[in-house]
Amino acid sequence: MGPAEPELALRASSLWLIVFLGLTLIALSVVSMWKESRHGQPLKSIVWFALAIVGFYAVIALFAGYV
């Protein structure tokens, strides 16, 4: 195998970071929604979940601008 191209290595690491952030976002949102549904506040969790999705896509857009 030859040396890796820096641009491809940066793109691959950026994509893995986006996948990691996405999985973390989903896991935290599910845990948050589960805990809030036990206390009778499901609407609050839906609002936070929507805000988390918007924030996540903003991070993806910033990463896409750098890659």
- Residue 55, domain extent: 39-67
Q: Does residue 28 sit within a domain?
A: no
Q: Is residue 65 domain-resident?
A: yes
Better-predicted residue by pLDDT, 2 or 61:
61
Asked, for residue 43, whether it belongs to a domain, the answer is: yes
Among residues 64, 48, 65, 52, which one has the least CA distance to residue 22?
A: 52
Note the pLDDT tens digit of each residue in 17-44. Answer: 778 877 887 787 777 777 777 777 666 6
What pLDDT band is residue 66 in, cutting at 50, 70 and 90?
low
Structural domain contains residue 25? no
Domain count, the chain: 1
Q: For residue 35, how far is the Cα from the chain centroid?
A: 20
Note if the pTM is more than 0.85: no
Residue 67 has pLDDT above 60, yes or no: no
Residue 8 lies in a domain: no
